[in-house]
Amino acid sequence: MDTTYESIRVSSKANASPSILIAIVYIFKKELTQFLRYPSWFVSMLIWPVLFPFGYVFTAKALSGPASSGINTFSALTGTTDYVSYMIIGTTMWMWVNWMLWGFGSSLRREQVLGTLESNWLCPIPKTTLLFGYSFFQLLYSFVFMGISLIEFMLFYNFRFTGNPLLALLIIVASIPSIYGIGFIFASIIMWVKEANSMVFLVRGVITVFCGITYPLAILPNWMKGVSSFIPVTYSIRSLRAVISAGARIGDVRTDIMILLLFGVILMTLGILAFNYTQKKVKETGSLGHY
């Protein structure tokens, strides 16, 4: 009996030449297959870009009044009267972060509920590979989503680019490490608390309240402004608005881009450390499959 077990162990060790890249590709493929299995996800990808800003855009319209009297205060605070573009940029960033949080939170949690997380954990690959696999799928989704959003904004909200689209793309790319760093930390927390929904509500709630998704940060009390300066999404939204609506150039947003990159390095490192620590802990306590 022992000999058989030993031979299996030895042979599996000999055969196991795990390629991290192949593992990432397979996780990416699995996520893509699951996504394509539910066509309603694609429908939601088409609907949300128009639907989500809808409430905020019309709230702003109602608040500005029939003769747009309220717009003067808004314009003085933001430097623009175009509240539609202002809301659209903020809400698109929010949707990106929201999707990322749900993706990271629910992918591990879902496997925990379905009972496949433990078997995935037994694969002879670094466990961070799982996160990178999810991340690449999320990135693909995010870029397709933003492309669709842009077309729909132009069609339904008469949205126009004032600044340089490539600079806007650069800001989005610079935001990726910090946003996915948050995702890695988030995935680790989910494995501890075993409750994805509430954690998504908390993190996205903080972003909704502090990052100026729909309002100018100038209106916030000082302590809230202080909190918002520690969230990378604040800088992404601010610089995107400056580029897209006010035509800012690279020199105007250089500081924000540098801050985003710095956040990216810190959060990505913290994310990987948190995930490694969590996987060690759940192995020790044997709580990986609990839910």
Chain residues that interact with other proteins, rule: CB under 8 A: 38, 40-41, 43-44, 47-48, 51-52, 54-56, 58-74, 77-78, 110, 113-114, 193-195, 197-199, 201-202, 205-206, 208-209, 213-216, 219-220
Residue nearer to other proteins on the CB measure, 225 or 281: 225
Q: Which is nearer to other proteins, 114 or 122 (CB)?
A: 114
Shortest distance in whole angstroms from residue 201 CB to other proteins: 5
Taking the complex as a whole, how short is the minimal distance between the CB of residue 63 and other proteins, in angstroms? 4
Nearer to other proteins, 48 or 137 (CB): 48
Instruction: Choose among 97, 98, 287, 99: nearest CA to 193.
Output: 287
Instruction: Name the minimum Å distance from CB 164 to other proteins.
Output: 27
Cβ-based nearer residue to other proteins, 198 or 269: 198
Closest distance of CB 4 from other proteins, Å? 33
> For residues 51 and 154, which CB has a smaller minimum distance to other proteins in the complex?
51
- Residue type present at position 245: S
Q: How far is the CB of 218 from other proteins (least distance, A)?
A: 8
